[in-house]
Amino acid sequence: MTKVRHVLGISGGKDSAALAIYMRQRYPELDIEYYTCDTGKELEETYQLIKNLEGFLGKSIKLLQAADKSTQDPFDHYLNLYGGFLPSSNSRWCTKKLKLEPFEKFVGNDPVISYVGIRGDEDREGYISKKSNIQSIFPFRKNIWSEDVVSKVLANANLSVIADLYGQLPKASLSDRFDELLSKPVSFSFPQSQKLNLLLDVDTQRFNELVFAFLKQTNYPLAQEDSFPLLDNDEVLVRDDIFRLLEESGVGVPAYYNKVDFTVNEKKGQYSRSRSGCYFCFYQQKIEWIWLYEQHPDKFAQALAYEKDGYTWNDEETLEDMVKPQRMQAIKEEYIKRTSRNAQKLKSPYLLDILGDAEGEGCAACFI
């Protein structure tokens, strides 16, 4: 039987970097393969983060590149194949071609546990491979399991199977409350999410042991493992923990998160970039385009050069129009108003929080 591989993708963002640190510190016994999918269009800060992480982990992070035989970098290679059609949130060929396909090629048909850095304070699932040999695990959340696994474990059709498995757990770990919750069918008035949260609140480790026992009867990659150290993981890591892990480990927070001061019409503001990914990513906010224009003018010029034949990165305006002096002033002023409103509401020290919706959108493969 093929050995189960444990892999962790580094997107260049803070959460996947923090997850690599966390796994190294908490589960050094796991032989994790680290990889990153390089689009050829990342910011220098991303490559620096990868170097810092390699120093901390004491092992190299494998660089995966789509179209690695091409004379062009991965993005340009596929842009040509797509006839110059720029990717957008409605047509995101870039994620598929530059991130997901190289990852699936890297793992092939081997059974794989893929660790994903979705935080405990986020409500999203992230990339779940459709390939049955890839199983995602979420160590920062109280619920480390993917939705498909939870749905099977808590399905009413499996109540008796689960009851049997529960009965086989060591006696010391049984509790009436857990038993009562486990045997209660999900229904309109008792949804699966509620059952899951209650079970985890009563005894996270027991729930994880039960899931592991259930998986033993399936084709999931974990079925091949005799043990899994994350069964005892009941920690929940949120944004502050991520920054703490990065700072205390010496790896550091990716430099593009650092706030930079600006002044517009005698009003002061601060901007930064809210996420990793390609420097021209169409998910970025207008103020982030202005940040790119002022902090990385060479990259902005390259992004602008892609806009031709009616193809633009934004639906509403071209980059050329966006950086006209009056328009830029308006974007900055609007942004100062928005951030001060949000800062009052949130009272958070992180510009990232104040940027609000920035992180939730987009692609787990690029931004975690």
Residues within the interface to ligand SF4 (CB under 6 A): 39, 87, 92, 94-95, 98-99, 277-278, 281, 283, 363, 366
Nearer to ligand SF4, 98 or 222 (CB): 98
CB of 330 to ligand SF4, least distance (A): 25
Please report which residue ranges of the chain form alpha helices under DSSP H.
14-26, 44-57, 74-81, 93-95, 101-107, 147-153, 159-167, 176-183, 192-215, 239-249, 286-295, 297-305, 319-322, 325-346, 351-354, 364-367
Taking the complex as a whole, how short is the minimal distance between the CB of residue 292 and ligand SF4, in angstroms?
13
Select 127 or 283, whichever has its Cβ closest to ligand SF4: 283
- The amino acid at residue 281 is C
d(CA 205, CA 143): 10
Nearest distance from C-beta of residue 357 to ligand SF4, angstroms: 16
Measured from the CB atom, the residue of 209 and 359 that comes closer to ligand SF4 is 359
Place of tokens 């069918």: 185
- Residue 245, by phi and psi: left (phi above 0), alpha (psi -120 to 50) or beta? alpha
Question: By beta-carbon distance, which residue lies closest to ligand SF4?
Answer: 277
Nearest-approach distance from CB 87 to ligand SF4, in angstroms: 5
Name the residue type at position 71: T
Which CB, 98 or 153, lies closer to ligand SF4? 98
Report how far residue 274's alpha carbon sits from residue 256's, in angstroms, rounded to the nearest whole number: 8
Dist CA 333 CA 337 (whole Å): 6
Give the residue with the Cβ less far from ligand SF4, 278 or 354: 278
Q: Which of 252, 304, 310 is nearest to 279 (CA)?
A: 304
Region of 23 (left: φ > 0; alpha: ψ -120 to 50; beta: rest) is alpha
In the complex with ligand SF4, the residue whose CB is nearer, 39 or 249, is 39
Q: Is 41:282 a contact under the CB 8 Å cutoff?
A: no
Between 207 and 300, CB nearer to ligand SF4:
300
The CB-side HSE value for 302 (13 A sphere, CA atoms) comes to 15
State the nearest-atom distance from the C-beta of 187 to ligand SF4, in Å: 39
How near is the Cβ of 71 to ligand SF4 at its closest, in Å? 20
Give the nearest distance from C-beta 201 to ligand SF4 in angstroms. Answer: 36
